[in-house]
Amino acid sequence: MPFKAHAARRHYIPKQRHRVTNWAEYDAALRQRGSLTVWFSEEAIAAWRAEPRTTRGGQRHYSALAIKTALTLRAVFRLALRQTEGLIGSVLQLLGLDLPVPDHSTLSRRAETLEVPKPRPSSRGRVHLLVDSTGLRLGGPGEWLIEKHGSRRRRSWRKLHIGVDAATGQILASELTPHDDDDGAQVEALLDQIAAPLASFTGDGAYDREDIYGTVVQRHPDADVSVPPRSTAVLSGHVETAPTQRDRHLQCIHAHGRIGWQKTSGYTRRALVESAISRFKRVIGNALRSRTDQRRRTEVTIAIHALNQMLELGRPKSVRIA
């Protein structure tokens, strides 16, 4: 079992209860998530056909926005490529639009080279960045078949690393890697995707490394790094003259315990990134449908854009019940 501080006293901590105060607005936003008019926008219709190509090579029939719209519909409604083609064709027919329908082969091929812009934080000011990772499986038998017959081969999966804005819940950075890649090794790639200044960087014990502290502080000198030190951590040799952030974390834990350190350091915000991962798997799913790594990256980026747009439609405002 992994090390858990205060594991013997966990059952004494009551579970928090919250009440949503804007239920009417949030309920309307949840219904909007299933509206085709949200995902099949007028902007996409106006720019559906690709602009004429001036360089050598064949002419494209569909713009990048049209392909992005089709792949977004696929991610939101969990469709296969052929079903996505059928859905777009029926929508164009109902709207009375004389536009070509991209076939499933075109969608698959264009996903290999599609450039999707990185999300930008909707909140103003400095960002409180929360990082974590999760696994996404690659096809294979379902849970019932494995439970009934067992698995005859090792299941393949990829690891998704994300960076979440604590103020808005939006996923600002993502990286898809093989399952055996270290979490800490992806911090630099995640920070490259965020142009806004950081107020804090929060991660779990997997990010307790000196190079991560150095990378964050080098890029954002005023950012606080909230990472729980491991149970065997010791103070640095120059703690008396120039204590590091990690030294101050250890001193706070020694004086107030890990629960007290979590409250004072803001580490409790890390639950929001776990909520974002749960939201991803409940809305998008826990498996990747694409067959190549580049198409899988496009699939994840499209899904993250859809999730961020869902949050823009409406978020719950909750208060804690005493």
Confirm if 99 and 147 have CB atoms less than 8 A apart.
no
Taking only the tens place, the pLDDT of each residue in 181-222 is: 999 999 999 999 998 999 999 999 999 999 999 999 999 999
pLDDT at residue 91 above 70?
A: yes
CATH, range 118-283: 3.30.420
Taking only the tens place, the pLDDT of each residue in 265-278 is: 999 999 999 999 99
Give the pLDDT band of residue 1 (cuts 50, 70, 90).
very low
Tell me what the mean pLDDT of segment 162-182 comes to. Answer: 94
Predicted structure pTM score? 0.88
- CA gap 245, 210 in Å, rounded: 10
The strand pair at 171-178 and 157-165 is best described as: antiparallel
Per domain, the residue ranges of the chain are 24-110, 118-283
Tell me what the mean pLDDT of segment 86-101 comes to. Answer: 94
Query: What is the predicted pLDDT for the residue at 13?
Result: 67
pLDDT at residue 104 above 90?
A: yes
pLDDT at residue 230 above 60?
A: yes
Please state, rounded to an integer, the average pLDDT across all residues of the chain: 89
- CA gap 85, 106 in Å, rounded: 10
Taking only the tens place, the pLDDT of each residue in 247-259 is: 999 999 999 999 8
The three-point CA angle 122-76-317 to 5° equals 45
Query: What is the predicted pLDDT for the residue at 54?
Result: 73
- CA gap 119, 71 in Å, rounded: 17
Tell me what the mean pLDDT of segment 91-118 comes to. Answer: 93
